[in-house]
Amino acid sequence: MTENLWLENTHLRMCISPKGGSVLSLDSLDYQQPVLRAGKGMSPGDCGLFPMLPLANRVENNRFTLRGREITLPDSPADAQFFLHGDGWLAPWQVVEQSDEGCVLGLRQRHACGFDYQAELVYRLRSNALEIELALTHLGEMPMLYGGGVHPFFHFTPQSRIQFSASGYWPEGPSHLPLAWTDNLPAVANFSEAQYGTQDWLNACYSGWNGRATIMHEQMTVTLCAPTNWLMLFRMPGEPFICLEPQTHPVNAHRMPGQPGLVLLMPKETWRFSTSILVNQANSC
């Protein structure tokens, strides 16, 4: 089994598992606090962050239509109903490059439904920021829809606050699929002003996100930046984390009119996604 990778610079230290291409921990050396929750990688999602590809979240009935063809998504070992978050977070990645402050991981996957891709995942510590880059090249003969993002579990306490702007959201419905979009955000789901929210379950996709979300702790500020319009927020009662997941498309986009945010790749075409997590005392990005 490939050993975990450790990256460190003056400000940050992190541990990466090639299993699932996941971040097991990310800690601030300046403030001696965790930025992401720590995981042992013993089961899928037991980590601080994982990549989502070749799609994010769920597709209703685990199937969709593409150019008149019905696409049935693969079964997932992590979910009985859905190809949940794709397969990148479940697969073993290969270590392509490694240095003290960065690494490159590679993944080759192929499915009968049409997903056939080579992916590259880059983690890099640059000053007080973790920079993440995903690149996916479609190798199949037929065009295929792709999308994705990252799924961080941010360290979060009763003293923490979140702030981000959005034009509206899709509340969660049965089987964790979205209800109708609304611009009427209830107080517990409206983070335009910094707040803790409630301890209640919340699993909702926001649209019109401006690409920036801030988590304020007593001693440090964590800022998430990503060039996408969609942000997923997930929290569980009693857990010391909150997930703010930048993704390139809304939940169930494959079955929405126009399939928003998804990219149709022709053979040898590449999809790219990037995000960064900054740790400091000032809200700068």
For residue 42, the model assigns a pLDDT of 86
Within 8 A by CB and 6+ apart from 75, the residues are 83
For residue 278, the model assigns a pLDDT of 97
What's phi and psi for 189, nearest 5 deg?
-115, 10
Contact between 67 and 143 (Cβ < 8 Å):
yes
Contact between 239 and 202 (Cβ < 8 Å):
no
Tokens of 122: 């880059």
Distances (CA, A) of 234 to 200, 209, 243: 10, 15, 5
For residue 1, the model assigns a pLDDT of 54
Cα separation, 282 vs 280, in Å, equals 6
- pLDDT tens digit sequence for 210-246: 999 999 999 999 999 999 999 999 999 999 999 999 9
- pLDDT tens digit sequence for 138-157: 999 999 999 999 999 999 99
Strand (E) or helix (H) holding 134: strand 129-138
3-state helix, strand, coil in the chain (%, to 5): 5, 50, 50
For residue 107, the model assigns a pLDDT of 98
For the entire predicted model, the pTM comes to: 0.96
For residue 282, the model assigns a pLDDT of 44
Length of the chain: 285
For the chain, which ranges sit under pLDDT 50?
Answer: 282-285
Cα separation, 136 vs 22, in Å, equals 17
For residue 139, the model assigns a pLDDT of 98
